Copies of this chain bind each other. A is one copy, B any other.
């Protein structure tokens, strides 16, 4: 049944290998395959489906727009759909948070938004170097990939990646070592060999890197280093943003003020390709068309994104819902970890971006595979694939989340117990 994929699709395909069925439909927290089997989705488009699959509120708006022959493709021309998105973003998100950003509609992929951010930072400062962090992930086009830590991706470049310096993320060394201080020391030292950076780019929680969480203090320290050395602070909020950690932007509770922010994944709300780069108005030094792209500004995404902002962020209810689900997840994962032999499992992450750090990647892989057999789509992340990552839709109900955690708990119990029995 999957012959056409084996015949025609490149070996580069990856998720399809972990979930070897053909999906056909999806609703809310569930994927449905061609045989009608339903799978609870704890992957959620790698964080692109914060409002669930085919959210009916968004769907209605999209259907109406298409039916009415609203502009689908308009390059970066002004459209009514774009106008309304800008208004909603300003009125619902930016203004209430006291954020003053202009919006660049980049190509509709996260990596493109990062490419734009890096160009902008380099052009503003006239410097080429950008500080990235261990285990960071920012995309795999050449510019963004230089800031990505993963050697699996880096080695595929076929050419040395330049223009970045990898520094130590929060917690990379012993807990008492402030890696922001090491960064400051190297930048302050004119003979460190680290060229004066244009910018620092970071994720507040590293999704692909294994749910590593930067403390708010560390984020503030990094911001201070940026101010001290006249470097721009870029927060790549592509995975952690759009509510994933509990607030619209993941950096809100840290009290920092990034100069540039990238958003994508769940920004459209409906899983449609969409990305923006936000920056403080004084940094809007682009010349017209310097960074372009055929699909910048996806009008279908404007429609669903606008509707998502209106439906989920106009009041505090949704944030409260996320908070409750996050707490539920924390408790559930803690319980699972507590039930496993010491040192085997540990809860990790923040908000609805949590998971279980396993003692090794094999264990994590065994857990996710067994979950799928039990009807749960879930993946691992981290440098060795050692972290089981729960990226459920933020709209998930208490019951659905319980069900997902129950499956994980059951699977962990089976696998870890078995390993324990074998080992003893």
Contact = CB atoms under 8 A, between A and B. Distances in A.
14 contacts: A9-B102, A11-B286, A45-B75, A47-B294, A54-B72, A108-B273, A119-B156, A121-B158, A128-B159, A148-B193, A153-B292, A155-B290, A165-B166, A168-B182
Interface stretch (A109-117, A242-250, A347-355, A408-416): A109-117
Nearest to A279: B10
Given A4-B87, A16-B77, A158-B119, A273 B287 contact: no
A358 to B, nearest CB: 16
Given A156-B290, A173-B182, A78 B108 contact: no
Contacts of A284: 10-12
A258 to B, nearest CB: 16
B12 A291 contact: yes
Contacts of A182: 168, 173
Interface residues of A, number: 152
Interface stretch (A63-71, A221-229, A336-344): A63-71
A103 B107 CA distance: 21
A142 interface: yes
A8 B103 contact: yes
A135 interface: yes
Contact of A128 (B53, B79, B158): B158
A326 to B, nearest CB: 22
A77 B23 contact: yes
A190 B151 contact: yes
A90 B5 CA distance: 11
B9 A149 contact: no
A133 interface: yes
Interface in A93-138: 102-105, 107-112, 115-116, 118-119, 121-123, 126, 128-129, 132-136
